[in-house]
Amino acid sequence: MKRKHLLGLADVSATEITQILDTAEAMREVLSRPIKKTPALRGKSVCTLFFEPSTRTRASFEMAAKTLSADTSSLTVATSSVSKGETLKDTLLTMAAMGAGCFVIRHPSSGACELAASFSQKFGYDFHIVNAGDGCHEHPTQGLLDLLTIRQHKGEIAGLKVTMIGDLLHSRVARSNVHGLLKMGADLTLCGPQTLLPPEFGLLDLKMTHDCDEAIEGADVVMTLRLQNERMNGVFLPSVREFAALYGINARRLKRAKSDAILMHPGPINRGVEISDDVADGGQSVILNQVTNGVAVRMAVLYGLLGGEEN
Amino acid sequence: MKILIKNGRVIDPSQNLDAVADLLIEDGKIAQIESAIRNPQSATEFDAAGLIVAPGFVDIHVHGRTPGQEYKEDTATLTAAAAAGGFTTLCVMPNTVPTLDNRSVVEDVLSRAKSEGNGVRIYPIASVSLAAKNEQLSEFADLKNAGAIAVSDDAFPLQDADFMRRVFQYARTVGLVTMLHCEDTALTGGGHAGVGRGGGVMNEGVVSTELGLRGMPRVSEEIAVYKACALAREVGNRVHILHVSTRGAVAVIRSFKAQGVPVTAEAGPHHFGLTDEAVRGYNTNAKMNPPLRTREDCDAIIQGLVDGTIDCIATDHAPHAAHEKEREFDGAPFGIIGLETSLPVSLQTLVEKGPLDVTQLVEKMTTAPAQLLALDAGTLKVGKRADVTAFSPDENWILEEETIRSKSKNSPWLRQTMKGRVKATFAGGKQIY
C-alpha cells in the first residue's frame, strides 16, 4: 500500500481494495495456524484511541496488531484526560510523543480521522491514522471485511445483487460499503423508510426502495444494518416493533432472496429487530465469518500501512 | 489637513456619479469633486489613476467580539481589518459577553471604538431580549438613546411567533429596525452544537450525506423568513433579513416586497461565492450559520441582488480563534471572517463572472446598507464626512494568514487568489490604510 492513512473507502481504488483483500486472505491463513504470530510489525507501535464504546472492532484491531507482533497500547475516553477536556490534537500529540506510530481511532464526530491525519508531520511527529469508525461517516475496515466475506462466499463481487437494509442515514458501515461495493461493481439496492434513507443516496449508481420484500427479491447478498439507537435524537421510527415488521429479516422474507444467498450483519445484533433468531443462527448467516475476516482485514491494513517501513 | 485624491474613477451611487475626477478632502470632510482640481499646495496628493474611488464601505453585519471575547477580535484589530477591506462603517452584533442588551454595554462599545479604534465608525446593534434568551424584551428606547442603531436576535434566532410579534410591535413603537436571523431550529437541531450533540452543522444535501454530517435543510430558512415577513406585514414594522442563503428565502422576500411589506435583506459574499462543496475535507473554515448552500441558491441570491430583492451585501464577519476551529467539525463554532475578502469575492462573483456592474456593486456595499439603517455614511456628497475607499478592480493577490489584519484567520479563501484590492482607505479624512 502506498498510502499513509486509511480514512475511508471513498478514496480507495478498486485495484487497491483487491490488493488489501488478497493480503487479507494470506493473513487469514496465518490465523488458521496453531501458532498465530508473525514478526511482520515487530518494533512498531499501534495505539487504539476509542472515544466511543466498542467491543469487536477494538478487540479485532488489537488481535490483528498482536498477531503481527506490533506493540499495542490503548486509550479509552472515560479514563483518559479527554474527559478533562483535552482536545483530540493534544491527545494525539501526547501519545505520539510517547512513541505511537499508528493510531486506530473511533470517534463520535464525522471527520475526526481527517482532522487527526492533518496533525501528522505538522508538529514534529509522523504517524498513521486508521479510521475505526467516525460518526456517521465511514468505517472502512468494516467495509473491507464485508467485501472479503462476500468474495469468500461468492467469488467475484462484480455483478452480484447486494441489498442493504436498515438505518442508512446514521450508518458509517453503510457509507463504507456503498463506496466499496460500487467500486467493485456490485448491483446495489438500499432499503429503509425515508426517515432513515436520505434521497441523496439516489444520486449514486444504485437502486433505492422503501419496500423490503422488493429489495430482497433475487438478492445474492442481504446486508442488514444495526439500528443506531444512540443516534436517534429525533423521531425516525414509530416503534422498534413496526421497524421489525417492515424491515426485519426473518425466514419467510429471506426466501425471496436466491437460495444460496448469504446474510450479513456488522454487529452487534439487535436480535428480533433487524434479524430474527432463526436466520441469525441459520445456515445462510455468515455473521461469524465476518468477525474472523475482520481480524484478517485489519492485519492486512496495518501491514499495508506500517510494513516495509524502517523502524 | 487636506488630501487630494487624483485621477480616480469616482463612483458615488448616492449622487449618480461615475466619472474620472479628483476629490479634495478638507478638515475631514468632502470639499470638492471636479476634474483637474488644482492642488492647493498644502494638500497631500494620492494618485488614484486606474483605481476606483468610492464611498467608504458600510458593513451592517459584523461580530465585533468586544466586550468579552477580545481573544477572537478586539476593537483595534477589528477596525484595522475593516480598513484593509475598505470599510469605514461597521454595525456590530449583540452576541458579546455580556450581551449587548443594556446602555452600559452600548456605551462601552462606543467608547472603545473612540479610544482603541482607527477612526472606523462602529454602531452597536442591541439584543432584542435580555441575555439573548428571547424571554424578556430589552429596553429598546434606552438602548436607542445610548446609541444602538437597531435590534437583532442574531446567533439566537427567535422561534416563538408571539414573542417575535411583541418584538416587532415594540421596535415599531421605538422606531428601530429589527434584524433577524431566520432559522427554524426545530428543523436544524439548533442549540445542539458540539461533538456528538447531534445538531445540524452544514447544508443538508449530497455533501452532508456523503460526509455523514447532520444537515440543516434549506426549508428551515424559508419557513422562518415567511414567518417573519407575515408578522411584519401585520405589525407594519421595518424588518431586515440577515444573511439570506437559500433560493426559497429569496422568493419569499420577493413576494412580500411586492406586497409592499417593509422588509429588507442582505447576503454575504460566501453565500453567493461558495457552495457546500467547500466543506469537503471537513473544512471548519467553511462552517457558518446559515451554512453554505448549493449552486442554485447562489444563483438565486445573485438574481435577488440584481432585481433588488436583496438590498445589500454584508459580511457576517465572525472571528474565531485557531484552536476553536482546529477541531472536530461538529464541535467547531459557526462563522468566518469576511471584512478583508468582501470586495474581491464580490467583484469576482458578481461583476467579473456575474451580472452586476461595478457601480451596482459599490451601491450594494455603501449607499444601500447606509440607507437601510439611516446611517450618515455611504456617500461622497460635498460636506459629508470624508469616508473614502480607493480600490483596484483587477489587481491579483493571494490571501495569506500572515497578512490578515483580523486577529482571527478563519477564512475559507486562505491561500487563494483574490482579484480586486483595496489600495487606500480614508476615515474622517484620515488615511487609515
pLDDT digits (tens, 9 = 90+) for B149-183: 999 999 999 999 999 999 999 999 999 999 999 99
pLDDT of residue B39: 82
Q: What mean pLDDT comes out for the span A84-95?
A: 88
Q: What pLDDT does B169 receive?
A: 98
Residue to substitute from A110, A172, A176, A229, interface B, most B β-carbons within 10 A: A110
Q: What average pLDDT does the segment B395-416 reach?
A: 98
Q: Are B56 and B389 in contact (CB under 8 A)?
A: yes
Chain B residues whose beta carbon lies within 8 Å of the beta carbon of residue A89: 326-327
Q: Which of residues 266-305 of A touch B (CB under 8 A)?
A: none
ipTM for the assembly: 0.91
What's the pLDDT tens digit per position in A98-136? Answer: 999 999 999 999 999 999 999 999 999 999 999 999 999
Q: Contact A161/A219 with Cβ under 8 angstroms?
A: yes
Q: What is the mean pLDDT of residues A244-266?
A: 95
Whether residue B40 is predicted with pLDDT greater than 80 in this model: the reply is no
Q: Which amino acid is at B234?
A: E
Say yes or no for a CB contact (<8 Å) between A135 and B282. no
Q: Would you state the pLDDT for residue A311?
A: 47
Across the interface, of A137, A138, A233, the residue whose CB is closest to B198 is A233
Instruction: Given CATH 3.40.50.1370, say whether it is the number of domain A14-139+293-306.
Output: yes
> Can you tell me the distance from the alpha carbon of B2 to that of A205, in angstroms, rounded to the nearest whole number?
68
**Among B198, B206, B330, whose Cβ lies nearest the Cβ of A200?**
B206
The CATH number assigned to the domain with range B56-372 reads 3.20.20.140
Which chain B residues contact residue A112 at CB under 8 A? 328
Confidence class for position A228, pLDDT limits 50, 70, 90: confident
Q: What is the rounded average pLDDT of the residues A59-88?
A: 86
Q: For B2-51+386-431, CATH number?
A: 2.30.40.10
Tally of CA atoms within 13 A in the half-sphere of A262 that contains its CB? 20
**pLDDT reported for residue A1:** 77
Mean pLDDT across the stretch B16-21? 97
Test the A interface: residue of B203, B206, B210, B214 with most A CBs within 10 Å: B210
Q: Is there a contact between B330 and A135 if contact means CB atoms under 8 Å apart?
A: yes
How deeply is A246 buried, as exposed, middle or buried, from its count of CB atoms within 10 A (0-12, 13-18, 19+)? middle
Position A310 confidence tier, pLDDT thresholds 50, 70, 90: low
Instruction: Give B195's pLDDT tier (boundaries 50, 70, 90).
Output: low
Domain limits of chain B?
Answer: 2-51+386-431, 56-372
Please report the pLDDT score of residue B342 as a whole number. 98
**pLDDT score for B42:** 85
- Mean pLDDT over A52-76 rounds to 92
Domain ranges of chain A: 14-139+293-306, 141-291
3-state helix, strand, coil in chain B (%, to 5): 35, 25, 40
Asked if B343 and B313 count as a contact pair (C-beta separation under 8 A), the reply is no
* More confident: A309 or B212: B212
* B212/A137 Cβ within 8 A: yes
* Mean pLDDT to the nearest integer, A262-269: 93
Residues 6 or more apart from B287 whose CB is under 8 A from it? B201, B202, B279, B329, B332, B333, B334, B335, B336
The per-residue pLDDT of chain B, averaged, comes to 96
User: What value does the mean pLDDT take over residues B291-304?
Assistant: 98
- Quote the percentage of chain B above a pLDDT of 70: 98
Residue A234's pLDDT is 55
Mutation to test the A interface, candidates B195, B207, B211, most A Cβ within 10 Å: B211
In this structure, the number of other CB atoms found within 10 A of the CB of residue B295 comes to 10
Q: Is the pLDDT of residue B349 over 80?
A: yes
Yes or no, beta carbons of A138 and B189 under 8 Å apart = no
Whether A10 and B210 lie within 8 Å, measured CB to CB = yes
pLDDT at A2: 83
The pLDDT value recorded for residue B109 is: 98
Q: Which residue has the cell 451611487?
A: B13
Give the residue numbers of B marked as catalytic: 316
B282: left (phi over 0), alpha (psi -120 to 50) or beta: left
Q: Does B195 contact A at CB distance below 8 Å?
A: yes
pLDDT of residue B270: 98
B145 to chain A, any CB pair closer than 8 A? The answer is no
Q: How far is B21 from chain A (nearest CA, A)?
A: 52
B210–chain A Cβ distance below 8 A for any pair: yes
Edge-to-edge strand list for the sheet holding A207-209: A207-209, A187-191, A161-165, A221-224, A262-264
Convert the pLDDT of each residue in B67-107 to its tens digit.
999 999 999 999 999 999 999 999 999 999 999 999 999 99
pLDDT of residue B190 exceeding 60: yes
Task: Look at domain A141-291 and name its CATH class.
Answer: alpha beta
Inspect the interface and report whether the beta carbons of B327 and A115 lie closer than 8 Å: yes
Report whether pLDDT(A19) > 70.
yes
As given in the structure block, the three cell numbers for residue B426 are: 480614508
Calculate how close chain B gets to A30, using CA atoms only, in Å.
35
